[in-house]
Amino acid sequence: MPFWASAMALSHPLVFSIDNKSCLLILWGMGSSDYQKAYESAKGELAALLADEERIEKRKLELRKTIEVLAAICESEEVKIEPSQEAAYLLDNTTLADEIRMILRSHYPAWLRPHEVKAELERLGRDLSKYGNPQSAIHMVMKRMVESKEVQETQDGDQKQVYRCPHLWQQLSEQLLARGKGGSYKGGGYKRKRS
């Protein structure tokens, strides 16, 4: 016998994993105001998760720097430690662009010069020796991010290029504002009406 959930089931404090078929069964018994409440609730939860993700990324960077500093101190004091497999995993599984993005976001709203980003990468344990000119490579990656509108660029008081990367929620709200009035949500994303 199939289970027919109602809007009351959605208000239950337990959290269920819902696949597309289950979602259709739940939505079948809902009224239009219930759809709006469910939509707003899901939208709010997604926003909270994005904020949590940003906070976690920033904390991971802080911990990686702490691990690098403590490892260097332990080495200088001849204290035996096991290398951090977690930090090694992150180094092996993130690209230079990923780490630059995380560094810029963690310092937002501050603007950083390429040499400051390079110093942060080194503090994270990133080996930059494979690049002939590491600062140039970093600058090139940031220029590409500017072209894709992921990173913002300006000049500081010394007429030097500086960069920053807004948090994801700020990028999303800027994109929505840039799309202007007259758009609507069409399953899967915001769509602008054609003129």
pLDDT at 22: 55
Rounded to whole angstroms, the Cα distance separating 160 from 153 reads: 10
Supply the pLDDT for residue 79: 94
- pLDDT, residue 30, reads 67
**pLDDT reported for residue 195:** 40
- CA of residue 20 relative to chain centroid, distance: 26
Q: Where are the alpha helices (DSSP H) in 14-162?
A: 20-28, 32-76, 85-93, 96-107, 114-123, 134-147
Pick the CATH number of 53-179 from 3.90.1150.10, 2.60.40.1180, 3.40.720.10, 1.10.10.10: 1.10.10.10
**Confidence (pLDDT) at 164:** 95
Answer whether 0.75 is exceeded by the pTM: no
Q: Which residue type, as a one-letter code, is found at position 87?
A: A
Q: Measured between alpha carbons, how far is residue 38 from residues 6, 11, 20 in Å?
A: 12, 9, 15
CB 33 within 8 A of CB 13: no
Q: How much is the pLDDT for 187?
A: 44
pLDDT tens digits in sequence order for the chain, 195 residues long: 444 444 444 454 444 455 555 555 555 666 778 888 888 999 999 989 988 988 999 999 999 999 999 999 999 999 999 999 999 998 899 999 999 999 999 999 999 999 999 999 999 999 999 999 999 999 999 999 999 999 999 999 999 999 999 876 666 666 666 776 544 444 444 443 444
Bridge partners (DSSP) of residue 192 are 183
Q: Are 113 and 162 in contact (CB under 8 A)?
A: yes
Q: Identify the residue whose tokens are 């600062």.
A: 135
Q: Is 141 left (phi over 0), alpha (psi -120 to 50) or beta?
A: alpha
DSSP 23: H
Is the separation of the CB atoms in 164 and 111 below 8 Å?
yes
